[in-house]
Amino acid sequence: MLTRMTDKKELLLLSSKRICMSRKYFRNISILAIVSLLCLAVVQSVWVYRMYNDSVTDFRRRVESAIYKSIYKAFRMDAIPGLADAKYIKINLDDFSLYFEPNLMELDALQPYYAEVLYHDDGDPRVVMKKEERPALNNPMTTVVPIDDDGSYSLMVCIETPFEVFLGRMRGLIASSVAIIILLAGVLIYLVRTMFRQKTLEEMRRDFTHNITHELKTPISVAVTATDALRNFSADADPDRRSRYLEIVETQLTQLSTMVEHILSVSVEGREYKYNPTVVYLQEIISGLIQGAGMNAGKKPVFNIDCPSDINVMADEFHIKNLLATVVDNAVKYATDPVVGIRVREEEDITIEIEDNGCGIAKENLGHIFEKFYRVPTGDVQTVRGYGLGLYYAKQVVELHKGTISVRSRVGKGTTVTIKLPKNEQ
């Protein structure tokens, strides 16, 4: 006994370590994906900014080139740059404009501008000449160029920077960068979601294995105990005791066989269910189900049945029985003092409603109850055993019959399962 307890503790410790490692692994993967996406966005942004900044720098260079060309033609007629200084300087902004605007046009930089001649004395520069009034410029770029050799005069040119033109030329680049970021963000989100789904599926499979181990262990232990009593404690000498022990063994083995068949019927991926439709009267099936309901859980449920005897469907009797048995079993085992209402009515479809007064299901869990191996989280306490396969199987059967199944529930109030099946003529 002590050895078994030690083994269980070691298994629990190992399981908790694996869960912690798994959570840490997925957390690190998520952080890495987010950081990678942010890095990509930063790199793309820096690249676009540098391209934009290069366009502005190139525009400034072209404007300065046009200014220097115009100055030497308009102001310093006898000067040779780098060889001879000008003997005299003539300052005329009208002449400057005659040269400057064609030079801007030639360099594809013609934009609204204004020019002023500044005189530099001991104080701040003074405007000594300007051409007309200053126009209103958007995003002006200012360039100051000396006119004479001793730096007493300089020419200041303010020209409008065509930011919209630059952005227009980069529109395709910006759009492609944004599209790449969005695409990669979508791919990363999809991958992370897929990984978390796989993680959730793995956790559900682990819970399924844990639950089914306990479920299968109980009847086996009872059968082994009864057999041991027959063999070692002379129980076979008493016909009544022998009969009782054999009945216990038979009951447990029948229960074990039922569980195995149920698991095999729904646990194989991609299994195609056999479908043999016959006319099935629902009242007969429901009456048979409620007779044995609650026996395994040791409960005595109260059933309120409203099912006309003439309502029938064209369905596979085996699967319909298992479908209703699954839903009724859930209605019984999740309530302390179960009161189950079963209503069947014929409308556009055959509608079956099974309502209970159980613990209910939270809204955030309702969307997952038909998933394979899913069980509503209850922490480390499992008051109700199960495999997480029942409602998955129920949905498969309903869809096999071209019907629908839905669930409404309120925590602490109960749950209502609604099954709709086509009429025979459909």
> In this structure, what CATH number is given to the domain that contains residue 387?
3.30.565.10
Which residue shows structure tokens 């099974």?
Answer: 354
Q: For residues 256 and 219, is the Cβ–Cβ distance under 8 A?
A: yes
Confidence class of residue 2 from pLDDT cuts 50, 70 and 90?
very low
Model confidence over 65-92: pLDDT tens digits? 888 888 777 776 554 444 455 555 667 7
Last residue of a domain, one of 120, 142, 169: 169
- Residue 41 is predicted with a pLDDT of 80
Residue 9 lies in a domain: no
Residue 145 lies in a domain: yes
Residue 117 lies in a domain: yes
Reduced to 3 states (helix: H, G, I; strand: E, B; else coil), residue 426 is coil
CA distance 28 to 42: 21
- Residue 425 is predicted with a pLDDT of 53
Residues 295, 416, single domain; the answer is yes
Better-scored residue on pLDDT, 240 or 341:
341
Q: Considering only 8-22, 109-123, 348-362, 412-426, which range has the smallest mean pLDDT?
A: 8-22
- Residue 418 is predicted with a pLDDT of 93
Reduced to 3 states (helix: H, G, I; strand: E, B; else coil), residue 277 is strand
Residue 116 lies in a domain: yes
Better-scored residue on pLDDT, 3 or 285:
285
- Residue 419 is predicted with a pLDDT of 92
Reduced to 3 states (helix: H, G, I; strand: E, B; else coil), residue 221 is helix
Residue 266 lies in a domain: no
Confidence class of residue 153 from pLDDT cuts 50, 70 and 90?
confident
Residue 224 has pLDDT above 50, yes or no: yes
Confidence class of residue 37 from pLDDT cuts 50, 70 and 90?
confident
Strand order across the beta sheet in which 140-146 lies: 126-130, 113-119, 153-160, 140-146
Residue 162 has pLDDT above 60, yes or no: yes
Burial status of residue 76 (CB atoms within 10 A of its CB: 0-12, 13-18, 19 or more): buried
In total, how many domains does the chain have?
2
Mean pLDDT of 204-212: 64
Confidence class of residue 380 from pLDDT cuts 50, 70 and 90?
very low
CA distance 154 to 159: 16
Residue 328 has pLDDT above 80, yes or no: yes
Residue 1 has pLDDT above 60, yes or no: no
CA distance 409 to 406: 10
Mean pLDDT of 177-190: 80
Q: Which residues of 185-201 are buried (b: 16+ CB within 10 A; e: fewer)?
A: eeebeeebeeeeeeeee
Residue 348 lies in a domain: yes
Task: Give CA angle at 356 (351, 358), nearest 5°.
Answer: 150
Strands 126-130 and 302-306: what pairing? unpaired
Other C-beta atoms lying within 10 Å of the C-beta of residue 41: 16
Which residue shows structure tokens 């055959």?
Answer: 350
Confidence class of residue 296 from pLDDT cuts 50, 70 and 90?
low
Last residue of a domain, one of 143, 169, 195: 169
Q: For residue 144, give its domain range.
A: 45-169
- Residue 343 is predicted with a pLDDT of 92
Q: With both helix axes pointing from N to C terminus, report the angle between 93-106 and 2-74 in degrees, rounded to the nearest 10.
A: 130
The segment with the largest mean pLDDT, out of 173-177, 199-203, 252-256, is 173-177
- Residue 43 is predicted with a pLDDT of 82
Model confidence over 86-100: pLDDT tens digits? 555 667 788 788 888
- Residue 420 is predicted with a pLDDT of 92
- Residue 295 is predicted with a pLDDT of 52
Give counts: helices (H), strands (E), the chain. 9, 11
- Residue 344 is predicted with a pLDDT of 92
**Distance of alpha carbon 351 from its chain centroid, rounded?**
34
Residue 131 lies in a domain: yes
Q: How many CA atoms lie within 13 A of 222 on its CB side?
A: 18
Q: Considering only 38-42, 54-58, 139-143, 345-349, which range has the smallest mean pLDDT?
A: 38-42
Mean pLDDT of 358-362: 86
Confidence class of residue 3 from pLDDT cuts 50, 70 and 90?
very low
Mean pLDDT of 359-384: 72
Residue 264 lies in a domain: no
Amino acid letter for position 325: A
Q: How many CA atoms lie within 13 A of 281 on its CB side?
A: 7
Which residue shows structure tokens 């730096």?
Answer: 151
Mean pLDDT estimate for the chain: 76
Residue 270 has pLDDT above 50, yes or no: no
Q: With both helix axes pointing from N to C terminus, report the angle between 317-333 and 390-400 in degrees, rounded to the nearest 10.
A: 150
Which residue shows structure tokens 């410029």?
Answer: 137
Tell me how long the chain is: 426
Q: Which two tokens stand for residue 396?
A: 């498969």
- Residue 388 is predicted with a pLDDT of 66
Last residue of a domain, one of 169, 199, 215: 169
Residue 395 has pLDDT above 80, yes or no: yes
Q: With both helix axes pointing from N to C terminus, report the angle between 317-333 and 282-292 in degrees, rounded to the nearest 10.
A: 40
Mean pLDDT of 249-266: 66
